[in-house]
Amino acid sequence: MLLLLLSAPAFAERAQCTVTGLGAPFASGSSSTTASIAQFGPDLVLVKDGVFDFRVDDARSEGTLFLDGFRPARFTWTRGQACRVAVVPGPTPVVNGVILGREAAPAGAEVWIEGCGTTAVVTDGRFSMKAMPGSCALTVHAYDWKHHWLGAEVPLTVPSDGALDVSLPFGAPVGGVGVRLAADAPRIESFTADSAAKAGGMHVGDVVSEVGGAPVAGRTTAEVSALLRGALGTAVALRTVGGATFTLTRRLQDDSFVAGNMGIRVEKGPDGLVVAEVAGPAERVGVKVGDVVVSVDHHVNATVGSFTGHSRGGGERLLTVRRGTQELAFTVPVERFVVQ
């Protein structure tokens, strides 16, 4: 499992874009950006006086704006630069689908679709999503608070109007190499438990220069992520600055650590949730492995799922733990961990 810890900006930063071509002061719809939390579907948006806001978690984000009564429109937001998106009246095509083999997903897993300019939540094995017209591809994702499944990309052609019906295959668990990189460079800061990279001879401080033969300099987080992730058991070649090469086999990655983006992975213990791994913001404020979770923002009796849910978002969380006979309270900043 590879985690990128981005200390800034905060996970739920809001950005704004100006919309032209409306002909009215208000419009409603949704937006999807590469920086959104895809598994929860697109953001609902309200355009007021020609401006709408949306979530971002990187310095640059590409997205799609879907407004009722207008054609879908792509846009790019870059921090420090003006963002404008032009819309024209017209219909928005829709893709309806069913998931084949979804019984492979564990009970309680969240299943969602990504592609064609947006995302959609899957309910009872079915989904319906607005989409960009033209050639694109859809992929099924699933997440059970611990493991991530990824299906094969399914290419399709979305009509300019009307609806398209599709069937998509459920996926296999995603594998990773088990490193955490620095926020400002592809430099290994630490290894996860059962790390393929550590077992393969890599060291803290190594700077990755290539993944699978592709240089990583100048690539976005999403691009590096796509290179490092892959099907469980497949091989990936890494080269470091200095010329050392490593061929690693992707192992099952435990995403529960990533979902709790305070930098905490918890496991169920005899006395409640126990901190099993700590890094980033939680480690900086003094949370330790073995601490027993008492509450998160005053929510008690948490499960693994509810703990990770409460620890999502931006800002800070008040975490209370029991350490021996002491009960300790920590204010933990929430920072963005991205699964690779």
Whether 14 and 68 share a structural domain: yes
Question: For the sheet containing 94-100, what is the strand order?
Answer: 126-130, 94-100, 163-169
Is 26 within 8 Å of 48 (Cβ atoms)? yes
Determine phi and psi for 289, rounding to 5 degrees: -60, 135
299 assigned to some structural domain? yes
Residue 175 lies in a domain: no
Q: Which residues contact 314 (CB under 8 A, 6 or more apart)?
A: 10, 11, 12, 13, 334
- In a domain, residue 16? The reply is yes
Query: By C-alpha distance, which of 241, 255, 289, 299 is closest to 269?
Result: 289
Whether residue 197 sits in one domain with residue 149:
no
pLDDT tens string, the chain, 340 residues long: the values are 222 222 233 344 678 999 999 988 888 888 887 655 565 667 788 899 999 987 776 677 888 999 999 999 999 998 889 999 999 999 999 999 999 987 777 777 778 898 998 888 898 899 999 999 999 999 998 877 667 788 888 999 999 999 999 999 988 888 888 877 776 678 877 777 678 999 999 998 898 899 999 999 887 665 776 788 788 889 999 999 999 999 999 988 765 555 447 888 888 888 899 998 887 788 889 999 999 999 888 878 777 767 776 676 567 889 999 999 999 999 988 775 444 4
Residues 311, 265: contact at Cβ < 8 Å?
no
What phi and psi values does residue 38 have, to the nearest 5 degrees?
-60, -35
Amino acid identity, position 114: E
Do 160 and 222 reside in the same domain of the chain?
no
- Answer for the pair 120, 110: CB distance below 8 angstroms, yes or no: no
d(CA 182, CA 27): 41
Q: Are residues 264 and 331 in the same domain?
A: yes
The angle formed by the CA atoms of residues 78, 84 and 85, to the nearest 5 degrees, is 115
Of 96, 90, 98, give the one whose Cα is nearest residue 66: 90
* Helix/strand number for the chain, H first, E second: 5, 32
In the chain, the number of structural domains is 4
Q: Is residue 118 part of a domain?
A: yes
- The domain of 28 spans 3-86
Q: What is the dihedral of CA 290, 294, 299, 301, to 10 degrees?
A: 90
How far is 215 from 212, CA to CA, in rounded Å?
A: 8
Query: SS3 for 89?
Result: strand
Q: Are residues 159 and 133 in the same domain?
A: yes
In degrees, rounded to 5, the angle at the alpha carbon of residue 96 between the alpha carbons of residues 92 and 100 is 155
pTM: 0.65
Q: 161 and 123 in one domain?
A: yes
Whether 331 maps to a domain, the answer reads yes
d(CA 62, CA 93): 20
* Co-location of 36 and 78 in the same domain: yes
Same structural domain, 121 and 135: yes
Last residue of a domain, one of 63, 86, 109: 86
The structure tokens 């409603």 sit at 28
Task: Identify the three-state secondary structure at position 310.
Answer: helix
* End position of a domain, from candidates 252, 276, 311: 252
Which amino acid type is present at position 333?
A: P
Which pLDDT belongs to residue 257? 52
Whether 114 is in a domain gets the answer yes
Residues 23 and 79 in one domain: yes
Among candidate residues 277, 340, 271, the one with its CA nearest the CA of residue 308:
277
Give the whole-angstrom CA distance, residue 281 versus residue 154.
38
75 with 18, same domain: the answer is yes
Give dist(CA 142, CA 119) in Å, integer.
13
Residue 177 in domain: no
Task: Return the CATH number at 303.
Answer: 2.30.42.10
The domain boundary, picked from 86, 112, 136, lies at 86
Q: Is residue 176 part of a domain?
A: no
Select from 60, 86, 54 the least CA-distant residue to 72: 86
212 and 195 together in one domain: yes
280 and 311 part of one domain: yes
Model pLDDT, residue 195: 84
